[in-house]
A and B are shown apart, each in its own frame.
Chain A
């Protein structure tokens, strides 16, 4: 509040007029303009073709650059560029090719022998040996390693060095998807270096054998990489064409877009549909929309832990919800960009993701209402729905539920809080998404949510048994049959409602040749300047 005080007329008359007043009033603007002028052009941008530096940005950083010690997608990108794996899966054909292992044979369903390539060196100059492979896997299995991505390695029991070029992996149980895991989230560490510097030292100065070597890691700022000139020849991923990579953390989506438009960065992803439309109109920018392996789904508190007398314990209510949501309309109008409706709880490209035999829930609000009435909820009920990303999708779901009488309240949480609540049995309906760690096998999806683990809200012994059989059978036909059994039971009981695959919108400078893959792993080593 301004206080009224007596004016000071004499002084006002004698105070500087005109010139002085204008000067003072414009002081702020002058300062602004002055600093801006002094700054001049913002100097040469570090990004771009001219500097042979591909700068890419994302909204968050991995907590630790070590690939076994973060579960962030940004960490996966770094891992794929700085570390090699034993096998390589060709994204075009899906076949496995030799990488750090030149050959592999199953001695029996729980014993896998691999021949380790000669002539590969780590970024610090150490040669790759079977000891490095054995050390890496044995280390990440220990509790002291505090591996974050446990589900990617805990199918292994131990690894031993068999000879000068051979290692043997002992499995806990038959696990046919092993090759898929060895071709993805299981990079190899340099044993001697890691033992010397420990995890803390490794996180600050990581070393791999990958096509790029990490030059610097700055918490909160990003990571700089450059082409590893001694990268082994003959690698299926080839020698990178771009000399330097730089990963930057820019939390705000609008700022990322502005950086891209001004040439401060070259590549962004997860661009929301509306921003993608704007960027399509911007000069010098290419926008690419591609489907990913990420699937959105509603998870139901079937056990009734979150809510006493939960309506969700009744299969008719769960089916009613499944009929109430127009997933097709959501894909067409909201999600867009190459997304598809999913009918079983996995990504339809994954091995074992079998739709046959599973009931489908086409949009039918009348049927949903009838089912609710039958279940004893003619006027619907109130319930909580928790979500952690794409708030607009969650709100659309709430709208559809409201139309059949279910009044859902949105609990929008950060992922860590969401997961804690879900695991703690405090979530009635969870709007989940899962990208399967880019593993192209259904075990990476159903295993997390239906094999009796912390995030299994169903704990159905029949589903658990079928999945266990599918995960461990060595015959591909038998595996498929077991997964079909589990997936159709999940759909029939409406334990969860698969929604749709997620698209990813990429936006990048027109100077760049870049191809996107459904596994949501941008392969910068394969990108090039035009």
Chain B
């Protein structure tokens, strides 16, 4: 297990280094930075002054080393647009996106896993078809449309929940449901497939032959095995949701990282874009690593 974990950590670290190089190069491939920082009214002398001030006149490798060293200390420089420290901007916005992502994932799993189990157990019945219908619907509906539909029903008509903003926990309910529904179908179908496979396997047959109660077989034997790929998928889905929350954040006016990324791209605010790419990538890598390790713990065969 230790060797497996070590190997996985090394792979994760190399991916992280690659991503950081890529996100640094991304900044430098997008045109003359000094001109971008100086703005449209700057003179040639001002642009040169900025070039020196920001160290843009040094060799690329030296610049990367300086940037990476700072990034390691969580210093991503200053936003061109807000003229604020990027770290402060991200620190202010990240919690919103993380809360949204975690709650959405919880919603997705809470609905998808029981639904997937049920669909497998009641295979080819109306329940199975209804579950599949719900999942297809989730995949077919654009998130923004579903978000607006939720607003119309729960905010405009029923007046139960607020429309936008992130002042209280109530503000997260509708966005989390909208985002969760986006992640739900894949989890549900994977659970269903996994359950079908496990339920027809030899050890379940043995368990049945031993006369174990069906509920015990279902939960302790079948679900535990079927859920292994779901853990990996959930980690991946969570990563997707962090990046893909842009639409939901816009519809519900949640000022999270997705919204910041979108605005920063539109404003050519490179240090912010670069830092967000890096932060999201790191979270994604960490999640994948955690999922791998957890899977290996649950299923010893995966350690080979």
Contact = CB atoms under 8 A, between A and B. Distances in A.
Contacts of A423: 40
A36 B193 contact: no
Interface residues of B, number: 70
A250 B254 CA distance: 8
B111 A31 contact: yes
B164 interface: yes
A219 interface: yes
A35 B250 CA distance: 22
Given A3-B196, A252-B250, A454-B40, A199 B83 contact: yes
Interface string A402-422: 000000000000101101100
Interface in B138-174: 144, 148, 151-152, 154-156, 158-165, 168, 170, 173
A258 B156 contact: yes
Interface in B32-47: 39-43, 46
A15 B266 CA distance: 54
A454 B168 CA distance: 47
B218 A15 contact: yes
B92 interface: yes
A42 B200 contact: no
Interface residues of A, number: 58
B286 interface: no
Given A21-B118, A220-B260, A262 B208 contact: no
A12 B122 contact: yes
Contacts of A264: 162-165
Nearest to A419: B40
A220 B259 contact: yes
B225 interface: no
A433 to B, nearest CB: 18
A262 B156 contact: yes
Nearest to A37: B160
Given A15-B214, A414-B266, A250 B253 contact: yes
A3 B193 contact: yes
B154 A36 contact: yes
B123 A12 contact: yes
Contact of A63 (B81, B144, B162, B215): B81
A27 B108 CA distance: 11
B107 A31 contact: yes
Interface string B7-27: 000000000000000000000
B296 interface: no
Given A5-B200, A8-B199, A252-B251, A36 B158 contact: yes
A24 B165 CA distance: 32
Interface in A121-176: 143, 146, 148, 150
A283 interface: no
Interface in A437-469: 454
Contacts of A420: 40
Contact of B164 (A21, A250, A414): A250
Contacts of B122: 12, 15, 21
Nearest to B199: A8
B159 A262 contact: yes
Contacts of B156: 258, 261-262
Given A31-B107, A423-B40, A8 B200 contact: yes
A379 interface: no
Interface string A232-246: 000000000000000
B151 A28 contact: no
A404 to B, nearest CB: 34
A42 B193 contact: no
Interface string B183-199: 00000010011001101
B127 A25 contact: yes
B161 A42 contact: yes
B224 interface: no
Nearest to B171: A42
B123 A3 contact: no
A36 B253 contact: no
A43 interface: yes
B284 interface: no
B contact face: mostly helix, strand, loop, or mixed:
helix
Nearest to A146: B39
B93 A35 contact: no
A32 interface: yes
Given A15-B214, A252-B251, A259 B164 contact: yes
A249 B253 contact: yes
A28 B111 contact: yes
B189 A2 contact: yes
A254 B152 CA distance: 10
Contact of A2 (B151, B193, B217, B267): B193
Contact of B255 (A6, A146, A249, A416): A249
Contact of B92 (A143, A220, A414): A220
Nearest to B180: A28
Contacts of B127: 21, 25
B253 A255 contact: yes
A25 B130 contact: yes
A3 B115 contact: no
B174 to A, nearest CB: 9
Interface string B240-261: 0000000000111101000110
B93 A220 contact: yes
A259 B167 CA distance: 14
Contact of A143 (B46, B131, B252, B260): B46
A36 B118 contact: no
Nearest to B80: A63
Given A39-B160, A219-B92, A255-B252, A150 B41 contact: yes
A105 interface: no
A10 to B, nearest CB: 6
A318 to B, nearest CB: 26
A251 B253 contact: yes
Contact of A6 (B144, B200, B252): B200
Interface string A9-43: 01110111000010011011001100111011111
Given A41-B159, A262-B155, A416-B268, A10 B253 contact: no
A64 interface: yes
Interface string A81-102: 0000000000000000000000
B69 interface: no
Contact of B155 (A6, A8, A43, A258): A258
A35 B173 contact: yes
A87 B64 CA distance: 51
Contacts of B259: 220, 251
B153 to A, nearest CB: 10
A248 interface: yes
A477 interface: no
20 contacts: A2-B189, A3-B196, A11-B214, A11-B217, A21-B118, A24-B115, A39-B161, A143-B42, A199-B83, A219-B255, A220-B260, A249-B253, A250-B253, A254-B151, A255-B148, A255-B252, A255-B253, A258-B152, A416-B268, A454-B40
The 6 A-B residue pairs with the shortest CB-CB distance in the complex, in nearest-first order: A220-B255, A28-B111, A14-B214, A8-B199, A250-B253, A6-B200
Interface of A: 2-3, 5-8, 10-12, 14-16, 21, 24-25, 27-28, 31-32, 35-37, 39-43, 63-64, 143, 146, 148, 150, 199-200, 203, 219-221, 248-252, 254-255, 258-259, 261-262, 264, 414, 416-417, 419-420, 423, 454
Given A39-B160, A251-B259, 10 more contacts: A3-B197, A11-B199, A143-B43, A199-B83, A219-B82, A251-B250, A255-B253, A258-B148, A258-B152, A262-B163
